[in-house]
Amino acid sequence: MHAPENSSYRILIADDEPHIRQILRFTLERAGYQVYLASDGEDALKQAAELKPNLVLLDVMMPKVDGYEVCRKMRQDFSMNQIPVIMLSARGEQRDRVAGLEGGANDYLVKPYSNEELLLRVKNVLEWNIRQKEANPLTGLPGNTAIEREMIARIAQKKQFAFLYIDIDNFKGFNDYYGYQKGDEIIGLLADILRRTIEKLGGTDDFIGHIGGDDFVLVASPSRAEIMAQYVVDEFDRGSLMKLDPKDVKRGYLEIRDRQGELKKIPVMAVTIALVKSTDNQIEHFAEVNDIASSLKEYGKRIEGSVVVKERRQDGVHPSRTRDAG
């Protein structure tokens, strides 16, 4: 995952010891973060409410309002309850750490600690918080903002990549016929298949995103992309049939009445994968990837059954069938 630059993050330090505040400030500013200081619990609550920082580093032992109480009040306040908190304390007993975490802290760091450990924990909490905010609530996968950021970073770094746009065909008919709960199960099925695809065939730099509804993306190495796409198709064709009533599987379509009462035959679900490769830095903007993928998907949707459609620069789009029609 490509996270934003550190300079875009605001971190509030709340500690009653001036020299500790200054040490933390120096360490975090040197790493590129924007830093704000609070000298006690009341000041911390006031600044957290006004600044809406991306993270609060919160000392436990402070005058007026201690760190436990600050964290508890933040979690009770709708305007602050999503701000992550790392508690800092010389109290390293298990009961103290548990009290901090039970009070809503995201992490608990025991003094003394190294600058390396502090910066790593800050980085981890910030990235976790981004993923939580951007994740699709149904699948837990990164959403549109994360997808765009991922692609912009790859293009800027001139990395070779394959962009797979995955869309379920005839999903609406299935949803209308079997109900929304079953529709959510199909979305979950495809998300699980994409995760397994990376586990079995992918690499550590691969990425999955959930655009919304039945639309997903997978970003992988160009050398592995086609075999990964084929795996997704095979697994979805097999798994989706298991969600159908046997009579619908045998018949090969669903019978659905439209609003006029006419009986319509809707083909069983399939998957269309639009495959865009960038191997020679010919793509310079994420919008180009979207445009190519949209054209490929539109082409693939006209082909019955599951299909992988890829672009060939010499002769335009080229459909690679993955299942016989019918």
pLDDT at res. 128: 87
Is residue 45 within 8 Å of 81, Cβ to Cβ? no
Is residue 231 within 8 Å of 239, Cβ to Cβ? no
pLDDT at res. 125: 95
Alpha-helical runs (H) found in 77-179:
94-102, 115-134, 144-156, 171-178
| CATH 3.30.70.270 residue ranges for the chain | 144-321
The dihedral built from the CA positions of residue 121, 134, 184 and 308, taken in this order, carries a sign that is: negative
pLDDT in tens, 119-154: 999 999 998 888 888 888 899 899 998 899 999 999
pLDDT in tens, 209-251: 999 999 999 999 999 999 999 999 999 999 999 999 999 888 8
Place of tokens 């690499």: 203
Is 0.85 surpassed by the pTM of this model? no
| CA–CA distances in Å: residue 182 to residues 17, 21, 124, 245, 254 | 56, 53, 35, 12, 15
Q: Which residues of the chain fall short of a pLDDT of 70?
A: 1-4, 92, 312-326
DSSP 1: -
Paired residues of 276 in beta bridges: 163
CATH fold group of domain 144-321:
Alpha-Beta Plaits (3.30.70)
- How many residues are there in the chain? 326
pLDDT at res. 117: 94
Superfamily (CATH) of domain 6-134: Response regulator (3.40.50.2300)
Cα 130 from Cα 207, distance rounded (Å): 15
| CATH 3.40.50.2300 residue ranges for the chain | 6-134
